[in-house]
Amino acid sequence: MDQRSKAASTSRSPPRVADEHVVVLDFGSQYAQLIARRVREQHVYCEIVRHDISPAALRARKPRGIILSGGPSSVYEAGAPHCDPEIFRLGVPVLGICYGMQLACEALGGKVSSAPTREYGRARISITAHDGLFAGLPDHTEVWMSHGDQVASVSSDFVPLARTCTCPIAAVRHNSLPVFGLQFHPEVTHTPLGSTVLRNFLIDICGCRGAWRLGDFARETIEEIRATVGDARVICGLSGGVDSSVTAALLYQAIGSQLSCILVDNGLLRKNEREGIAHEFGDHFKTDLHIVDAEDVFLAALDGITEPQEKRRRIGHAFIDCFKVEAQKIKGVEFLAQGTLYPDVIESGAAPDGPAATIKLHHNVGGLPAELGFKLIEPLRDLFKDEVRRLGLELGVPEEIVWRHPFPGPGLAVRCLGAITKDRLNVLREADAIVVEEIKSAGLYRQTAQAFAVLLPVSSVGVMGDARTFDNVVAVRCVDTTDFMTADWTHLPYELLGRISTRIINEVKGVNRVAYDISSKPPATIEWE
């Protein structure tokens, strides 16, 4: 395999300052990716790896710091996830958070037990030592706790740093090893000074300089793409979303006219989506744009299918078939570019050292098989959504594209619960357009992270005029989030919700009831399927 093929057939190495790389060992925490985001906000590159990564593999990565995430288990349970204790003796600073602190303390001679009083939510800690982790913090500060177990005792090698009224050991440091622990969660916004604690760990304890920047990422990635691609042609699948749009913009800056874009119109797009993509990438970016009419193909593939994962699988296969036919019409193609993001890689279990659990199938993560004959380029696979938006602005992508709400790869199929038909999709498409129009009119589109309609597989009794109806129910979903790992439902004004409901019922034939989803993530996901 020549050097170019080798570079393209594997995941790109993230551009980073070598001595400023931090890893998070994931023990199943819902906040693991949030920890990585908070570290990157301090301009230190960070990625997530499996909790059982070997000390040798960690040593080879040469991290400046190691963070042990929280997790849902108890460290004393049979089968609970652990890490190799040698990790604490690598000479690399280690910060254990919640479960991670308990694990570190137990591995180094302490005892963990079920707490007499569990702590969930806000708590007030008293800091007893202000050097290191707590430099610059007041004697008392609010933190966010989420634990039923706690460190009951530590060996004489540990020094307690903070306490609460019910948790006498809320933070610790080791006397001779660079090992630190926090029972609370510094990564969540409910810990107001959490970013200061993390910065103290990264800068003062790990010795990082905070040199990682998205501008450097763009420049290095463009250079890498040029070196990898040479004079070959690259094709990029477009969906109209920010991920594929920023991918295309990055590629266009790197290789210009060597880029061809393909939009597969699968009949699952939002209202006027196809026309908008044609304008943005035909007129704005002046790319070689190919549009495939494939609605009938996808509807046939989805006929009678109601199970969400099977929908995703069939959509993925149909997409591959349609994409392959169109791609073969373009001469000189050697590379395929996709807008895969870091959460996609993690949640699909695709990261070689990442958490293994698959939350949902992402049809764009390694979804195009080897028989297509293309080498894969995924220039955004190391970035989170908010980083992609910032990168898009740096690349000159129009704000209306950058700030467009996310849209799932399988499109309206996973928002049309139950059977997929053209009529049901049209109902959903019209209702969804009303939701977005009204939120934009209220000036709240940029303040919300994602808003859309969901067509439910149930019918509801209603009265329109003097007649009884038995029609569809539409749910409206609107969430607030910065990283899409956790999300809260948006508290939209009642007047706005009323306008949305009235318009959908009056203007969309076949709907007689509208509900508003007030679930957070977790335990719910943002999408319904």
Q: Is 279 an annotated catalytic residue? A: no
Contacts of 118 (CB under 8 A, 6+ apart): 147, 148
Which residue out of 46, 98, 167, 206 is catalytically annotated?
98
Which residue out of 20, 47, 187, 280 is catalytically annotated?
187
Contacts of 48 (CB under 8 A, 6+ apart): 23, 24, 26, 32, 33, 36, 346, 351, 354, 355
Query: What type of residue is 439?
Result: I
Contacts of 137 (CB under 8 A, 6+ apart): 127, 130, 193, 196, 197
Cβ atoms 459, 529 nearer than 8 A: no
CA-closest candidate to residue 454, choices 308, 318, 339, 344: 308
Per DSSP, the residues of 469-499 read: EEEEEEEEEEEE-SSSSSBEE----HHHHHH
CA-closest candidate to residue 363, choices 433, 397, 403, 413: 413
Which residue out of 185, 362, 363, 405 is catalytically annotated?
185
Report the alpha-carbon distance of residue 349 to residue 407 in Å, rounded. 21
CA atoms in the 13 A half-sphere facing the CB of 280: 26
CA-closest candidate to residue 483, choices 301, 278, 342: 342
259-265 vs 233-238, strand pairing mode: parallel
Q: Is 495 an annotated catalytic residue? A: no
Q: How far is CA 467 from the centre of its chain?
A: 46
Report the alpha-carbon distance of residue 99 to residue 86 in Å, rounded. 18
Q: Is 187 an annotated catalytic residue? A: yes
For residue 249, with 0-12 CB atoms within 10 Å meaning exposed, 13-18 middle and 19 or more buried, which class applies? buried
Report the alpha-carbon distance of residue 478 to residue 452 in Å, rounded. 7
Report the alpha-carbon distance of residue 9 to residue 204 in Å, rounded. 38
Cβ atoms 50, 353 nearer than 8 A: yes
Annotated active-site positions, please? 98, 185, 187
